[in-house]
Amino acid sequence: MTDKQAKLEIGTDSLDLPVLQGSCGPDVVDIRKLYGSTGKFTFDPGYKSTASCESALTFIDGEEGVLLHRGYPIGQLAENSSFMETAYLLLNNDLPSQGELDDFTYTISRHTMLHEQLMQFYRGFRRDAHPMAIMCGVVGALSAFYHDSTDISDPDHRKISSHRLIAKMPTIAAAAYKYSIGQPFVYPDNSLSYTGNFLRMTFGVPAEPYEVNPVVEKALDRIFILHADHEQNASTSTVRLAGSSGANPFACIAAGIACLWGPAHGGANEAALNMLKEIGTPDRIPHYIERAKDRNDPFRLMGFGHRVYKNYDPRAAVMQKTVREVFDSLGVKDPVFETALQLEEIALNDDYFREKKLFPNVDFYSGIILSAIGFPTTMFTALFALARTVGWVAQWNEMISDPGQVIGRPRQLYTGPTERDYLSMDKR
Ligand code: CMC
């Protein structure tokens, strides 16, 4: 809290509202007492001006293009950390010692297998089901298989369910892929890294040995770091809202996966690559730029623009660099990457995009690299969900451990009919 007060005047009434100050970012006007004191609500669809919670995990300065996890810049984490270490950091507030990291990695590796009956659950899905549809279903079903860790008032249960979710997500995502292509499931190999294990479960087959490519492993691990958390985005807010009613964490993360699926959120990586492929060659870029600018055309440049970033998304910068590194080391040449680079340059020099502060976001380049690694586009959002599970779980834990936590229950501006009497069928 600061000693600043905000004064709200409604007609002849006035109300002093406390102004809260975080460690970084804008001050926040505390309106919690507004309704009780004035009988009025605020109106903010899409939460464009509303802080929905207090959080110490992740900070974004959208104007400056800054993203910090527990204070550490995303660029430094992507360069120096690993996904397991970043997960530890998000869950525990500080970077681990070597012993703490080893213990954490070991614990996660002990939870990678799925209940065998859950593996049979897959067979109920159509063969051509989208992996995100399978993820929603299978993750939700975890609560039916792991009852023993669903008492959210017990910190040990919260910890075990968090570890289970982080550990099982690669197994669930890889199995969704294997099922869709009709190959046998590959069981986890805990001697591999978190990311190496996922690569093997996705691209390996039981009939042959699989060797993890260290360049690909490092690049994918970095992609996971870039997606680990992003403060109160739509899916994280969904997880928090679902969790605020006391729902178990498996159900809450399934809700987050459903929200992430949309093309305005996590589904944008799939949409961005599809768009780049549709554009095809650089000479067709101007046509698509004109379409994106046309108010009568619903087309948008996918992978461009962000609710919070009004500057270059720092994750996009790391992603672009990673594409170059992987392509150089694997000797890949992809015309789609050239199209993306040129599209970015043209858009960044176009008045429409400059005035609206539309820059590439994390999804603009991620699809290109995931495709080069061998993932089909339908798996892109599933990979996002896998990595974001760490953030969802950390945010859910933060919320549940807060003694002041209450159920989330927004109000509304009602515009429907006023009270009227029921009409019998013959009078309508
Ligand atoms: N292409 C063309 N115009 C755009 C775009 C775009 N990608 N994004 C925003 N605009 C325009 C929009 O038409 C609007 O114009 P006007 O003021 O004339 O009506 C203005 O910019 C503001 O857009 P908005 O939709 O009000 O902004 P928002 O904050 O509600 O939406 C967004 C943010 C990410 C949903 C939007 O930029 C978008 O749809 N981008 C494409 C989808 C995408 O890449 N999503 C991934 C986001 S990053 C990954 C994640 O966190 O999930």
Least Cα distance to 91 among 395, 387, 388 occurs for 395
Pocket lining: 149 vs ligand 1, CB cutoff 6 Å: no
Pocket lining: 366 vs ligand 1, CB cutoff 6 Å: no
| CA of residue 93 relative to chain centroid, distance | 19
pLDDT, position 270: 87
pLDDT, position 1: 57
Pocket lining: 307 vs ligand 1, CB cutoff 6 Å: yes
Pocket lining: 358 vs ligand 1, CB cutoff 6 Å: yes
Residues 64, 66: Cα–Cα separation, whole Å? 6
pLDDT, position 396: 98
pLDDT, position 2: 67
Residue 301 in tokens: 């440049």
State which of 361, 366, 381 you would mutate to test the pocket of ligand 1, scoring each by most atoms of that ligand within 8 A of its C-beta.
361
Count of beta carbons in the 10 Å neighbourhood of residue 3: 7
Order the strands of the 28-29 sheet from edge to edge. Answer: 5-10, 13-20, 28-29
Q: Which positions are catalytic?
A: 306, 363
CA of 255 to the centre of ligand 1 (A): 23
CA of 312 to the centre of ligand 1 (A): 14
Pocket lining: 265 vs ligand 1, CB cutoff 6 Å: yes
Q: What is the pLDDT along the chain (428 residues), one digit of tens a residue?
A: 567 899 999 988 899 999 999 999 999 999 999 999 999 999 999 999 999 999 999 999 999 999 999 999 999 999 999 999 999 999 999 999 999 999 999 999 999 999 999 998 999 999 999 999 999 999 999 999 998 989 999 999 999 999 999 999 999 999 999 999 999 999 999 999 999 999 999 999 999 999 999 999 999 999 999 999 999 999 999 999 999 999 999 999 999 999 999 998 888 888 999 999 999 999 999 999 999 999 999 999 999 999 999 999 999 999 999 998 888 888 888 889 999 999 999 999 999 999 999 999 988 999 999 999 999 999 999 999 999 999 999 999 999 999 989 999 999 999 999 999 999 999 99
Pocket lining: 175 vs ligand 1, CB cutoff 6 Å: no
Least Cα distance to 139 among 367, 405, 377, 388 occurs for 388
Residues 401, 159: Cα–Cα separation, whole Å? 11
CA of 368 to the centre of ligand 1 (A): 21
CA of 189 to the centre of ligand 1 (A): 41
Residues 426, 428: Cα–Cα separation, whole Å? 6
Atom 19 of ligand 1, nearest CA residue: 295
Residue type, 364: F
Residue 10's H or E segment, with its range, is strand 5-10
Atom 4 of ligand 1, nearest CA residue: 300
CA of 94 to the centre of ligand 1 (A): 34
Pocket lining: 316 vs ligand 1, CB cutoff 6 Å: no
